[in-house]
Structure 1
Amino acid sequence: MALGRGLIVGAPASGVGKTMVTIGLQRAFADWGLAVQGAKCGPDYIDPAFHAAAAGRPSINLDGFAMAPAMLRGLAAHVASTVQLVVAEGAMGLYDGARAQDRSGASADVARLLGWPMLLVVDARAAAQTVAAVAHGCATFPGAPAIAGVIANRVASPRHRQMVEDGFARIGLPLLGAISTDDGLAMPSRHLGLVQADETDALESRISAITERVAAQCDLDAVFAAAGATADRPMQPPGIRPPGQRIAIARDAAFSFFYPHMAHWWRAAGAELHFFSPLADEAPPADCDACWLPGGYPELHAGRIAANRRFLDGLRAFGQTRPIHGECGGYMVLGRVLEDGEGMMHAMAGLLPVETSFARRRMTLGYRRARLRQDSRFARAGQELLGHEFHYVSITASEGEALADMADAEGQAIAPAGHRVGHVTGGFFHLIA
Structure 2
Amino acid sequence: MVTLPRLVVAAPSTGSGKTTIATGLMAALRASGMTVSGHKVGPDYIDPGYHALATGRPGRNLDPHLVGVERVVPLLLHGAAGADVAVVEGVMGLYDGRLGTDGFASTSHVAALTSSPVVLVLDVARLSRSAAAIAAGMAAFDPSVRIGGVVLNRCSPGRNADEIRRGLEQVGLPVLGMLPRDESLASPSRHLGLVPVAERDESVALIERLGEQVAAHLDLAALLDVARAAPDLGDVAWDPTRELETGSSPDRERPVVAVAGGRAFTFRYPETEELLEAAGCDVRSFDPLTDPALPEGTRGIYLGGGFPEMYAAELAANTSLLRDLRAAVEAGIPTVAECAGLLYLAESLDGVPMAGAIPARAAMSERLTLRYPVATAVSDSLLTRAGEQVTGHEFHRTTTSPPAGTQAAWTVDEMPTGFSSDTVHASYLHVHWAGHPHLARRFAESVGRAAPVGRAASASERVETNTVESSATANRVGLDTPPPSGSGGSTSGESGSTRGKDGTVGDPLRHHGDVEVGDGLLDFAVNVYPDPRPEWLDEALRDSLAPTAYPDEEPARAALAKHHGRERSEVLPTAGAAEAFTLVARARTWRKPVVVHPQFTEPHAALEQAGHAVTEVRLRAEDGFTLDPAAVPADADLVVVGNPTNPTGVLHPAATLRALLRPGRLVVVDEAFMDAVPGEPETLTGEHAEGLLVIRSLTKHWSIPGVRAGYVVGDATAISDLEAVRTPWSVSATAAAAMLACATERASAEARERAERIAVWRDHLEAGLREQQIEYVPSTASFVLARPGAGVRETLREQGIAVRRADTFPGLGPDWVRIAVRPEDPTDQLLAALRRTGGDR
Residues 1:39 and 2:39 aligned together? yes
Which segments of structure 1 move beyond 6 Å, counting only runs of 4 or more?
239-242
Equivalence for 2:363: 357
Equivalence for 1:295: 305
Which of the residues 331, 335, 344 maps onto 1:333? 344
Equivalence for 1:342: none
Inter-partner Cα distance in structure 2 for 1:68 and 1:12: 25
CA deviation after TM superposition for structure 1 residue 288, in Å: 2.7
Inter-partner Cα distance in structure 2 for 1:96 and 1:298: 30
Conserved 8 A contact 1:188-1:200: no
Equivalence for 1:410: none
Residues 1:269 and 2:255 aligned together? no
Conserved 8 A contact 1:240-1:378: no
Change (3 A) 1:240 1:61: farther
Unaligned runs of 5+ in 1: 340-344, 408-412
Inter-partner Cα distance in structure 2 for 1:115 and 1:365: 29
Q: CA RMSD in A?
A: 2.3
More strand by proportion, 1 or 2? 1
Secondary structure of 1:393 counterpart: strand
CA deviation after TM superposition for structure 1 residue 37, in Å: 0.6
Larger RCO (CA under 8 A, 6+ residues apart): 1
Residues 1:58 and 2:64 aligned together? no
Inter-partner Cα distance in structure 1 for 2:404 and 2:96: 36
CA deviation after TM superposition for structure 1 residue 256, in Å: 1.2
CA deviation after TM superposition for structure 1 residue 267, in Å: 2.2
Change (3 A) 1:240 1:152: farther
CA deviation after TM superposition for structure 1 residue 389, in Å: 0.4
Equivalence for 1:347: 353
Write out aligned runs for 1:211-230 (5 A): 211-227=211-227, 228-230=230-232
Change (3 A) 1:399 1:188: closer
Inter-partner Cα distance in structure 2 for 1:78 and 1:219: 28
Conserved 8 A contact 2:419-2:427: yes
Secondary structure of 2:222 counterpart: helix
Change (3 A) 1:241 1:14: farther
CA deviation after TM superposition for structure 1 residue 77, in Å: 1.4
CA deviation after TM superposition for structure 1 residue 98, in Å: 0.7
CA deviation after TM superposition for structure 1 residue 4, in Å: 3.0
Residues 1:395 and 2:405 aligned together? no
Greater C-alpha radius of gyration:
2
Which of the residues 311, 324, 327 maps onto 1:314? 324
Residues 1:160 and 2:152 aligned together? no
Single out whichever of 416-425 and 179-188 deviates more from structure 2: 416-425
Inter-partner Cα distance in structure 2 for 1:188 and 1:38: 21
Secondary structure of 1:155 counterpart: coil
Write out aligned runs for 1:213-252 (5 A): 213-227=213-227, 228-234=230-236, 235=238, 245-252=255-262
Change (3 A) 1:59 1:346: same
CA deviation after TM superposition for structure 1 residue 285, in Å: 2.6
Conserved 8 A contact 2:96-2:103: no
Question: TM-score normalised to the size of structure 2?
Answer: 0.48
Conserved 8 A contact 2:4-2:233: no
Change (3 A) 1:241 1:148: farther
Inter-partner Cα distance in structure 2 for 1:295 and 1:416: 20
Conserved 8 A contact 1:353-1:399: no
Q: Which amino acid aligns with 1:11?
A: A
Conserved 8 A contact 1:118-1:149: yes
CA deviation after TM superposition for structure 1 residue 317, in Å: 1.6
Residues 1:385 and 2:390 aligned together? yes
Equivalence for 2:334: 323
Single out whichever of 96-105 and 50-59 deviates more from structure 2: 96-105
CA deviation after TM superposition for structure 1 residue 202, in Å: 2.1
Conserved 8 A contact 1:13-1:93: yes
Residues 1:370 and 2:375 aligned together? yes
CA deviation after TM superposition for structure 1 residue 248, in Å: 1.3
Change (3 A) 1:316 1:90: same
* TM-superposition CA deviations, 1:167-199 (whole Å, max 9, x none): 112101111111111222211111111111122
Conserved 8 A contact 1:252-1:278: yes
Inter-partner Cα distance in structure 1 for 2:35 and 2:91: 23
Change (3 A) 1:282 1:250: farther
CA deviation after TM superposition for structure 1 residue 112, in Å: 0.4
* TM-superposition CA deviations, 1:76-133 (whole Å, max 9, x none): 1122222111111001011111136597110100010011111110110111111111
Single out whichever of 221-230 and 98-107 deviates more from structure 2: 98-107
Conserved 8 A contact 2:18-2:90: yes
Single out whichever of 398-407 and 109-118 deviates more from structure 2: 398-407
Inter-partner Cα distance in structure 1 for 2:28 and 2:182: 19
Single out whichever of 229-238 and 138-147 deviates more from structure 2: 229-238
Change (3 A) 1:70 1:400: closer
CA deviation after TM superposition for structure 1 residue 399, in Å: 5.8
